[in-house]
Chain A
Amino acid sequence: MSRPIWEGRKVVVNVGTGGVGKTTVSAAMAVAAAASGRRTLVMTIDPARRLANALGLPSFGNVEHEIEQEQLAPYGVQLKAPLWAMMPDVKRTFDELVERFAPNDEKKRAILGNRIYQHFSTVLVGSHEYAAVEKLHEVYASGKYDLIVLDTPPSGNAVDFLEAPSRIIDFLEQDTVQWLVKPYAAAGRFSLKLLDVGSSFISKSVGKLAGAETLRELAEFVLGFQGMYEGFRERSRRVRELLASDEVAFNLVSSTQRAQHDAMFRFKEELATEGLKVRALVVNRVRNVPPGAATPKTLEAVRAALQTLAPGAAEQALSALAEEATLASNDRDAIQNLSERLGHVSTILLPELASDVHDLASLSALHSYFLQGAT
């Protein structure tokens, strides 16, 4: 008897590349957890509003939104505990951090008004990941939920979002300021007049590339963050601790496409390097053809049955059947191959549905696969 993949955990983190249906998988998993009695929150950083679409909600903001029992009941899903969804807004999450940690109003205004800052959260690599872990920590600490399902931003590597906090802190660090505005940072005063950035060899060179004005804006931005590092650092340390604890499970989410399987293997290795283990592999949209549907005898029977139709119709049907059977067998082989490469990790297979998953009906259809547990 297998156990649900969230058993004994408070946080489930789903990682995978883009285009595999991570958001759908996370939402179906959360529906299953709530249906089995856990107070569940599903969280996604999702600019495409996929989760909102999937849950049939209008877009929702930086706070949790409850999915009502009545919304799922028509599809035969009985929630035994409340289910919430949340879509952290990256820019707003950063603004909230600044508001929390800024030592005074003057600094708060200076940062929020800075041009570099305004673009920072939208263009900086890792800012989505940072917002995700930041929010994760906040909702975890609230103690409101038995289980949090985190749908991570699509990424080229599994540890992007683990490293995001330290990376962000890295370039906000004080020595950045000291290098760029060396002679004046020592004065310790936040004053634009004091920022003469063209003084050192390094800042001269960088200035030649980017323009001295850019350096000045940047120095202003980085100086603005002075005094806030401790708060950031403390947060980052706690998130890190949480992710490494036994309360968190990591799942790999993949499609059946072999092209993605190298990434899955790499993700597993990257997690292992961080001392993190993969709890389960979830393969989405597995094509399945019943074994009797494309045997030589069946194909013969199909040809005979379609004899009366227009010429060519039987051939079209046969080649379509053969194609579907090939696709299904490709999927089976690919999954077996992947499972072997991953060291036979527990696996949950979600079938391809007739239509795309974009509504509660499909989520309800998928949720039962998580109730059976992993094999």
Chain B
Amino acid sequence: MAFLPRLRVVTGKGGVGKTTVAAALALAEARRGRRVLLAEVNGRDRASLLLGVEPTGSKLTSVLPNIALVDMNPRDTLREYVLLTFKFETVYKAVFENRVVKNFLRLTPSLGELMMLGKVWYHEREREDDRPRFDVIVLDAPATGHAIAMLRAPGVVQATVPAGPLRENARLIDQLLRDTKRSTVHVVTTPEEMPVNEAVEIERAVCDELGMRIGITFLNQRVTALPPEIVPTLNVSAKEDKRLTDAAHVLHAREVRRLAGEENLQRLPHKMLRDSVSIPRIVGADFGLQSLEAIADVVAKALAREVEQ
């Protein structure tokens, strides 16, 4: 039976294509009929750009069939949370727009991160017409360090904040994150050294420390191997035709880089490599919706094979 989690958290080093993978995951889930909320964190509306829709900012908006989009930020999320708690806009304005209180809120450990996870948690539970409003939430989480800090936030709040509503919320959010039937973490990495290092770091934090589940790992921008005899053959011919020297050199450098990349990927934990999917490098002047749909094809095949652990 297919694995149908409620929450997919996408993270990885900055610049490896997290938002692209998150958007492709949203498309792939929507294609199989699931209603998706794609939630960015301080995303500067990059997902809307990729999907070719109007920017939504922090206002949750339905943008495509089966896909709603929101770009969360700590301030607006806190405001929403306070309004839910206190019910009165005037209270929010009088209290929470006070400069001093704003400073206090910034000082409370992990409050911003917790608020955003709280919003995810809220929408996971939200119901419409007697069924969940969203079948799955794809959280385009921040890069490694900030993502780990974010996922730790419920724990930090439980450790530092004495009993109260905030702590109770943190406990519930933690429950969702650790429920391996409902939540899974997707790491995105390219075959480069630092992205792989950070993928290893995330795996350690997520599995060992936080007790969450690591799902499919996406190996982005993987380069396909060339037949090994190409470069030597070109080098032989280059003795007569000098133009081939540069061509041989370019292809050789490409192979050296590719092999270095493959070596980097071998450092990923066995389980991550086993459950990984390669996304080929897309080379072109414009990366548009078409390229994203092509990646969504690859992701959709991977989701069809995904099973509960």
Chain A residues close to B by CB (< 8 Å): 17-20, 47-48, 50, 115-116, 119-120, 123-125, 154, 156, 170-171, 173, 175-176, 179-180, 201-202, 205-206, 208-214, 217-218, 255, 257, 259-260, 289-290, 292-295, 297-298, 301-302, 305-306, 308-310, 313, 316-317, 320-321, 323-324, 326-327, 330, 333, 352, 354-356, 358
Pairwise interchain contact A206-B95, C-beta atoms closer than 8 A: yes
B77-117 toward A: CB 8 Å interface, digit per residue (1/0)?
00000100110000100111010110111111111100000
Q: B260 and A156: CB pair below 8 A?
A: no
Shortest beta-carbon distance from B28 to chain A in Å: 22
Instruction: Please state if B104 and A317 are interface contacts (CB–CB under 8 Å).
Output: no
- Report the separation of the CA atoms of residues A53 and B284 in the bound assembly, to the nearest whole angstrom: 33
Partner of A18, one of B15, B104, B149: B15
Inter-chain contact A327/B283, CB cutoff 8 Å: yes
Chain B neighbourhood of A201, CB < 8 A: 94-95
Distance between Cα atoms of A334 and B198 in the complex (Å): 27
Contact of A202 among B15, B98, B234 (CB under 8 A): B98
Note all chain B residues with C-beta closer than 8 A to A356. 192-194, 260, 264
Partner of B107, one of A171, A212, A298, A321: A171
Say whether B304 faces chain A, with CB atoms less than 8 Å apart.
Answer: no
Contact B100–A179 (Cβ < 8 Å): yes
How would you classify the secondary structure of chain B's contact residues: helix, strand, loop or mixed?
helix
Other-chain contact of A297, B15, B96, B226, B243 (Cβ < 8 Å): B243
- Which one of B61-69, B211-219, B250-258, B295-303 is at the A interface? B250-258
Give every chain A residue within 8 A of B224 (Cβ-Cβ).
Answer: 316
Complex-state Cα separation, A17 to B234, whole angstroms: 40
Which B residues touch A217, using CB under 8 A?
160, 162
- A56 CB, nearest partner CB in chain B, Å: 14
Residues B234 and A306 in contact, CB atoms below 8 Å apart: yes
Known: A19-B14, A176-B104. A309 touches B165 (CB 8 A): no
Query: Which partner residue on chain A sits nearest B281 by CB separation?
Result: A323
Q: Is the CB of A124 within 8 A of B233?
A: no
Q: A18-B15, A306-B230 are in contact. Are A298 and B162 (CB under 8 A)?
A: no
Residues of B within 8 A of A (CB): 13-16, 42, 46, 82, 85-86, 91, 94-96, 98, 100-101, 103-112, 143, 145, 149, 156, 160-167, 192-194, 197-198, 201, 224, 226-227, 229-230, 233-234, 237, 241, 243-244, 246-247, 249-251, 253-254, 256-257, 260, 264, 281, 283-285
Query: Would B250 and A293 count as touching, CB distance under 8 A?
Result: yes
If over half of A's interface residues share one DSSP class (helix, strand or loop), that class is named, otherwise mixed; here it is: helix
Query: Are A50's CB and B100's CB within 8 A?
Result: no
- Say whether A210 contacts B164, CB under 8 Å: yes
A313 touches B193 (CB 8 A): no
Residue in A289, A294, A305 whose CB lies within 8 Å of B233: A305
B13 touches A294 (CB 8 A): no
Compute how far the CA of A320 lies from the CA of B251 in the bound complex, rounded to whole angstroms.
7
Question: Which residues of chain A are within 8 angstroms of B46 by Cβ–Cβ distance?
Answer: 259
A175 contacts across to B, CB distance below 8 A: 100
User: Could you name 9 residue pairs across A and B whose Cβ atoms are closer than 8 Å?
Assistant: A171-B104, A179-B98, A201-B95, A206-B105, A294-B247, A313-B227, A323-B281, A324-B254, A355-B260
Q: Is the CB of B230 within 8 A of A20?
A: no
Q: Which of B197, B241, B284 contacts A48 (CB 8 A)?
A: B197
Inter-chain CA distance A239–B124, complex, in Å, is 46
Docked CA distance A336–B163 (Å): 57
Among A47, A202, A305, A320, contact of B254 (Cβ-Cβ < 8 Å): A320
Q: Contact at A171–B160, with CB atoms within 8 Å?
A: no
CB-based contact A48/B230 at 8 Å: no
Residue in B closest to A326 when the chains form the complex, CB atoms:
B283
Q: Which residues of the partner chain A approach B96 to less than 8 Å between Cβ atoms? A: 205
Q: Are B106 and A125 in contact (CB under 8 A)?
A: yes
- Give the shortest distance, in Å, between B22 (CB) and chain A (any CB): 14
Chain B residues lying within 8 Å of A218, measured Cβ to Cβ, are 104, 107-108
Shortest CB distance B251–A (Å): 6
The complex places the Cα of A205 from the Cα of B105 at a distance, in Å, of 12
In the complex, the answer to whether A214 meets B108 with C-beta atoms within 8 Å is: yes
Residue with the greatest number of chain A CB neighbours at <10 A, chosen from B237, B247, B264: B247
B303 to chain A, nearest CB (A): 26
Cβ B160 vs Cβ A209 within 8 A? no
CB distance from A297 to the nearest CB of B (A): 7
Q: Is the CB of A301 within 8 A of B241?
A: yes
Closest partner residue, chain A, to B49 (CB atom): A259
Please report the C-alpha to C-alpha distance between residue A205 and residue B251 in the assembled complex, in whole angstroms. 66
Beyond A154-B14, A308-B233, A317-B230, whether A289 also contacts B101 by CB under 8 A is no
Residue of B nearest to A260 (CB): B15
- A123 adjacent to B250 (CB under 8 Å): no
Partner of A211 from B94, B103, B161 at Cβ < 8 Å: B161
Q: Is the CB of B101 within 8 A of A309?
A: no
* CB neighbours of A211 from chain B (8 A): 161-167
Give the distance to chain A from B221, nearest Cβ to Cβ, in Å: 11
CB closest chain-B residue, reference A299:
B247
B143: A residues at CB distance < 8 A: 18-19, 154
A305 touches which of B42, B163, B166, B234 (Cβ 8 Å): B234
- How distant is A160 from chain B, measured CB to nearest CB, in Å? 13
Q: Which residues of B contact A20 (CB under 8 A)?
A: 15
List, in ascending order, chain A residues with CB within 8 A of B160's CB.
115-116, 119, 214, 217
Q: How far is the CA of A324 from the CA of B251 in the complex (A)?
A: 8
List B contacts of A301 (CB < 8 A): 237, 241, 243-244, 247
With both chains docked as a complex, state the minimum distance between the C-beta of B111 and any C-beta of chain A, in angstroms: 8
User: Residues of B contacting A320 with CB < 8 Å?
Assistant: 226, 251, 254
With contacts A209-B166, A211-B162, A327-B283 known, is A309 near B229, CB below 8 A? yes
